[in-house]
Amino acid sequence: MTVQVYHGLEAVDPPMRGVTLTFGNFDGVHLGHQQILAQAGMLAERDGSSVVAVTFDPHPLKLIAPQRPLRFLTTLDERIRLLAQAGADAVVVVDTTQGFLEQSPEQFVADVVAARFAPAHVVEGPSWRFGRGREGDVAMLQRLGDKYGFEVYVVPGWRLEIDASGPVLVTSTLIRDLLGKRHVHRASLCLGRPYCLVGEVVRGNQRGRKLGFPTANLDVGDLLIPGEGIYAGWCSVGEEQHVAAISIGRNPTFGEGHLTVEAHLLDFDEDIYDRTVKVSLLRHIRDQQRFDSPDALVRQMGKDIQQVREVCRAAE
């Protein structure tokens, strides 16, 4: 899987011609995004062209609403990897600036879509908006496509039945909501894979090691942290994957107060400080709770680990 990555529109020089193009934040690269890439791939294969995914960094909301605390489903590197996995031959990362966001829809299509890419096709979801104030929609894009010589394909939103309430539209917002409610399994159905936290292992207070359960404390940056609780999952260290019991919480037994993400890797005892690891969350095991003593916590942790083993064994 090889993907060409361009950092900045100015890196697209000379301009591309005849490609199949799609724009989006693509946060999470969920099943809806994957359907857009699949449609783009079919068009590109028919024409003998390539699929180009254009994404934005930083996220436009960081400029539009800087007061809002933003958490994301993927890092930029992971987003690029997932876009390539979904079928993108090239990924262009636009440096999002205020000036870029203030372009009119017509200016965006003329100066970016037509001038930089001259695509044969543009593939988008029905809710995609572009230009200043999100004034442009897919109907406007289709009209401008007639003017500049590209076809627009609108891929219907992807609906999925994740519970008994019936099919729901898969969106990044839905996935964030599911993760906040600890429904990591339902979120994984929308993503097409387990939700992952990627981060550097940093030094904690060593409390887990003192209790006989050493943990890797992760600094996950701007990634969205699911609701507090104990989870079953995997932790990938380099090319190796280990069963892991993951704790997201504030260590209520010891009253520490600050939110941490900690992974206890089963049958593993190596120094991985300062290394970047990936934690994949499979199931919520239980809520966080305060125990009367460290011994009571240790007994519960033993039960948790047995349940984690069972969940991961069933997922293999």
φ and ψ at residue 177, rounded to 5 degrees:
-65, -45
Burial environment of residue 106 by CB neighbours within 10 A (0 to 12, 13 to 18, 19 or more): middle
For residues 162 and 156, what is the distance between their CA atoms, to the nearest angstrom?
A: 18
For residues 19 and 8, what is the distance between their CA atoms, to the nearest angstrom?
A: 18
CA-nearest of 116, 121, 112, 118 to 142 is: 121
C-alpha distances (whole Å) from 31 to each of 61, 170, 188, 231, 248 are 22, 7, 10, 23, 26
Of the candidates 106, 151, 200, 262, the residue annotated as catalytic is 262
Is 106 marked active-site?
no
CB neighbours of residue 73 within 10 Å: 23
DSSP state of 110: I
Give me the active site residues, please.
262
